[in-house]
Amino acid sequence: MHIRVRLLATAVVTGVLLVGCGSSPGEDLEGWYSSGGEKSIRALSDTSGRVNEVSVRPMDVWGAACKELLTKVREAQELDAIPSENAKGFWKEALTAFEDGGNECVAGADADNQPRASAGIREVQKGISRLASTTSMIASDLKAG
């Protein structure tokens, strides 16, 4: 399931890249996407996927993957607000799940507390599905634009 969610997010991101210019709201969204949104979505997809992948390995590698994800979350939070009413809620939910889950994962890994670190990874996995929904909404808005 984890790989399918990541593949879906990657496919939707790729679909967004293929969508052309739209009208004014679409142009705003396209501007957001081309001025950092795309890069941020890809970085979050890659790093959250890495967290998901390391979750089946020994816990000593979990913390580093989660710290990397937290760095990408902070970078994404520096972007302007996403100019899509449809995607805005999913984007916020994804960032929140990645941040909360990443923090729990790091804290659990640092304390050698596997249940806490695992709970953090499960929260990151929720964020993966929210990110996929975000990219789907962006693609839909750009296509409609």
Structure confidence at residue 142 as a pLDDT band (50, 70, 90): confident
DSSP per-residue codes, 115-128: HHHHHHHHHHHHHH
pTM of the prediction? 0.82
Name the residue type at position 107: A
For the chain, the domains span 24-144
Alpha-carbon torsion angle 25, 29, 31, 33, nearest 10: -170
pLDDT, tens digit, for every residue of 115-126?
A: 999 999 999 999
Q: Which CATH number does the domain 24-144 belong to among 1.20.120, 3.40.50, 1.10.1740, 2.60.120?
A: 1.20.120
Distance of alpha carbon 139 from alpha carbon 69, whole angstroms:
24
- 37: which residues sit within 8 A by CB, 6+ positions away? 79, 82, 138
pLDDT at 22 over 50: no
